Amino acid sequence: MENEIPPVNRVDTIRDELTAIAGSRIKVRANMGRSRIVERTGTLVAVHPQLFVVEVEERRGRTARQSYQYVDVLTGSVELYDTDTGERMLNFTFEE
């Protein structure tokens, strides 16, 4: 019997990749349910064990912070894009 290598924990992978780009500007596209999709561009300001925080500029110079879970990135409910190239970051394909 061979020793099987356990599958990579994808949430840890997402967290590690976001930690590497902390402080960068990203675009977030979030499916909020009921056909409501919100797109925001902001700065990745914090990476925590269960979620990450993006600070976005609101009207009249105000800033707001929005948090997202890594699991939502994994399931595709939240998509992250590079603001410079417009390319999607952190693509995951499910393999059985």
Residue 61 pLDDT? 86
Residue 91 pLDDT? 77
Residue 60 pLDDT? 87
Q: For 10-67, what is each residue's pLDDT tens digit?
A: 889 999 999 999 999 999 999 988 999 999 999 999 999 999 999 998 888 899 999 9
- The mean pLDDT of 58-87, rounded to a whole number, is 92
Q: Which of 66, 71, 40, 36 is closest to 53 using CA atoms?
A: 66
**Architecture of the domain whose range is 10-89:** Roll (2.30)
Q: What is d(CA 88, CA 73) in angstroms, rounded to the nearest whole number? A: 11
Residue 69 confidence (pLDDT) above 80: yes
Extents of the domains making up the chain: 10-89
Say which DSSP state 61 is in: G
